[in-house]
Amino acid sequence: MDHFLYRDGALFAEDVPVAEIAAAVGTPFYLYSTATLLRHFRLFDEALDGTDHLVCYAMKAASNQAILRTLAQAGAGMDVVSQGEYLRARAAGVPGGKIVFSGVGKTAEEIRTALAGGIRQFNVESEPEMEVLNAVALEMGKVAPVTLRVNPDVDARTHAKIATGKSENKFGIPIARARAAYARATALPGLEVIGIDVHIGSQLTELAPFEAAYAKVAELTETLRADGHDIRRLDLGGGLGIPYARSNEAPPLPLEYCAMIKRVLGHLDCEIEIEPGRLIAGNAGIMVSRVIYVKSGEGRDFLIVDGAMNDLIRPAMYEAYHDIVPVIEPEPGLERRPYDIVGPVCETGDTFARGRDLPPLAAGDLIAFRSAGAYGAVMASEYNTRPLIPEVMVNGDQFAVIRPRPSYEEMINRDTIPPWL
Ligand SMILES: *Cc1c(COP(=O)(O)O)cnc(C)c1O
């Protein structure tokens, strides 16, 4: 469910016509719906009602300050994976006590920043990280709260580039080594072991892989408790998928996912953390783009649009499907025709869709890429010296630019010429 719907023949974002924003801001741009962000956060938060829990939004999915503040004001914590994300979360008003720090390559400097500013816990991903964390904590006279991220060796049945829970992936400590790792962590005076962390991948469309991983976490909890560890918090990661194509079977709902969590882990009486990213932000954002040319090729028509792979890389990177819709609602019964939808970047990979059936479109028409809120703007680059596209947020009948388009001058002046030139 989202708040990008046709009304009176035109696409609206909540109560604002998308075409009106396009006229004010210029294309292409990202557009987020406050109501959809909040709705998705609350689906998780309310489904875990009655359980001691914190929903930590995985902010790598979409990390604009306005998005973070919207979610933080609703009570969300944050899952961060870098010092930059930690500082961004703090700048948006998230207290350190609601931030968890994940990631395989935390440097001593990153750890220092989080320990100094306050942190809910570090999700430690390796034995060497444990030693560095201990050394930094001791040097600062602090004790770092930690969970160890275990790799449960479960096939998430998702795209290979976003599967993280198999033994060949770089993430976490192999679950078979967990007891030894926990013994070592407990022996380090700079660490306080409080729980277990797991995250098996992204865009999962079935509950079974989650359940398999969580069953292993339940078993490990009992084993570690028997070993004398005070396991009181379980961080279960993110990864629940979203329906990118309306024709596809819908992934499980947050309610079903949370019911499974309670069923598999409820008896352990642990505090539960989850880290959804895509499910909160994905369908809360669209990318709006304008047709530059309609070009007829050999046996196919190309829709050349002003958005490109540098703005939204998911199709090029993950073979991802995005629903693409015209901003003017097509008349019912209008004949559709197949288009290859491509951007202006000089790469064949700059292709959003092939043979996509759309109503006839002409130069100047606006289209929207749906489900672009997660892993969209955050993965954008300036490839081909294209400015990062603006981000806009709607709230009811208001909208605001939450990141302006940089000028060409700003982009170019970031480079510096060495003295010998
Ligand atoms: C990316 C990531 C998430 C969020 O994944 P989604 O598929 O966006 O829900 C959560 N936790 C960790 C550790 C991650 O790396």
In-domain check, residue 39? no
Check pocket membership of 134 for ligand 1, CB cut-off 6 A: no
Structurally, the chain folds into a number of domains equal to 2
Of 202, 210, 379, the residue with max ligand 1 atoms within 8 A of its CB, to mutate for a pocket test, comes to: 202
Does 210 have pLDDT greater than 90?
yes
Check pocket membership of 326 for ligand 1, CB cut-off 6 A: no
The mean pLDDT of 54-69, rounded to a whole number, is 98
Check pocket membership of 149 for ligand 1, CB cut-off 6 A: no
Same domain, 398 and 340: yes
* Cα of 128 from ligand 1 centre, angstroms: 22
In-domain check, residue 141? yes
pLDDT value of residue 166 = 85
- The strands making up 10-13's β-sheet, listed across from edge to edge, are 4-7, 10-13, 16-17
Closest Cα to residue 198, out of 187, 214, 181? 214
Q: Which residues of 367-388 are buried (b: 16+ CB within 10 A; e: fewer)?
A: bbbbbbbbbbbbbbeeeeebbb
Q: Report residue 45's pLDDT band, with 50, 70 and 90 as the boundaries.
A: very high
Check pocket membership of 79 for ligand 1, CB cut-off 6 A: yes
Same domain, 352 and 237: no
d(CA 170, CA 125): 9
The mean pLDDT of 121-127, rounded to a whole number, is 97
Same domain, 85 and 147: yes
Q: Whose CA is nearest to atom 3 of ligand 1?
A: 238
* Cα of 409 from ligand 1 centre, angstroms: 35
Are 255 and 47 in contact by the 8 Å Cβ rule? The answer is yes
Same domain, 269 and 298: no
Per-chain mean pLDDT for the chain: 96
The mean pLDDT of 78-91, rounded to a whole number, is 98
What is the number of the ligand 1 atom nearest to the C-alpha of 201? 7
* Cα of 205 from ligand 1 centre, angstroms: 14
pLDDT value of residue 302 = 96
Query: What distances in angstroms separate CA 198 from CA 3, 148, 263, 275, 371, one per listed residue?
Result: 32, 8, 17, 10, 26
Q: Report residue 165's pLDDT band, with 50, 70 and 90 as the boundaries.
A: confident
CATH number for the domain that contains residue 8: 2.40.37.10
Does 246 have pLDDT greater than 80?
no
d(CA 329, CA 340): 20
Q: Report residue 152's pLDDT band, with 50, 70 and 90 as the boundaries.
A: very high
Of 55, 67, 79, the residue with max ligand 1 atoms within 8 A of its CB, to mutate for a pocket test, comes to: 79
pLDDT value of residue 245 = 82
Same domain, 80 and 18: no
Pick the more confident residue, 161 or 59. Answer: 59
Are 381 and 310 in contact by the 8 Å Cβ rule? The answer is yes
Does 26 have pLDDT greater than 90?
yes
The mean pLDDT of 11-16, rounded to a whole number, is 98
Does 399 have pLDDT greater than 90?
yes
* Cα of 126 from ligand 1 centre, angstroms: 18
Of 125, 275, 279, the residue with max ligand 1 atoms within 8 A of its CB, to mutate for a pocket test, comes to: 275
In-domain check, residue 36? no
Q: Are strands 191-197 and 10-13 parallel, antiparallel or unpaired?
A: unpaired
Show binding-site residues: 239, 275-278, 314, 318, 347, 375
* Cα of 200 from ligand 1 centre, angstroms: 9
Neighbours of 11 (CB within 10 A): 23
Same domain, 235 and 344: no
Same domain, 243 and 318: no
The last residue of a domain, from among 237, 261, 281: 281
In-domain check, residue 44? no
Check pocket membership of 276 for ligand 1, CB cut-off 6 A: yes
Quote the percentage of the chain above a pLDDT of 90. Answer: 93
In-domain check, residue 40? no
Same domain, 152 and 258: yes
pTM of structure: 0.97
Predicted confidence (pLDDT) per residue in 100-112, tens digit: 999 999 999 999 9
Check pocket membership of 376 for ligand 1, CB cut-off 6 A: no
Neighbours of 338 (CB within 10 A): 12
The mean pLDDT of 288-297, rounded to a whole number, is 96
Residue 130: half-sphere exposure toward Cβ, Cα within 13 Å: 23
What is the number of the ligand 1 atom nearest to the C-alpha of 275? 10
Show binding-site residues for substrate: 278, 314, 318, 347, 375
N- to C-terminal Cα separation, the chain: 56
Predicted confidence (pLDDT) per residue in 313-346, tens digit: 999 999 999 999 999 999 988 899 999 999 999 9
Same domain, 235 and 144: yes
In-domain check, residue 93? yes
The mean pLDDT of 282-306, rounded to a whole number, is 95
Q: Clarify whether 56 is annotated catalytic.
A: no
Query: What distances in angstroms separate CA 300 from CA 194, 297, 332, one per listed residue?
Result: 59, 5, 24
Q: Report residue 59's pLDDT band, with 50, 70 and 90 as the boundaries.
A: very high
Same domain, 112 and 215: yes
CATH number for the domain that contains residue 213: 3.20.20.10
The last residue of a domain, from among 254, 281, 308: 281
Pick the more confident residue, 130 or 246. Answer: 130
Q: For residue 336, what are the domain limits?
A: 4-31+284-413
In-domain check, residue 418? no
Closest Cα to residue 392, out of 85, 11, 26, 41? 26
Same domain, 375 and 324: yes
* Cα of 5 from ligand 1 centre, angstroms: 28
Check pocket membership of 126 for ligand 1, CB cut-off 6 A: no
Does 90 have pLDDT greater than 80?
yes
In-domain check, residue 17? yes
* Identified catalytic residue from 56, 258, 270, 346: 346
What is the number of the ligand 1 atom nearest to the C-alpha of 282? 8
Same domain, 302 and 323: yes
SS3 state of residue 13: strand
Which of these ranges, 165-179, 228-242, 317-331, has the smallest mean pLDDT? 165-179
The last residue of a domain, from among 281, 305, 333: 281
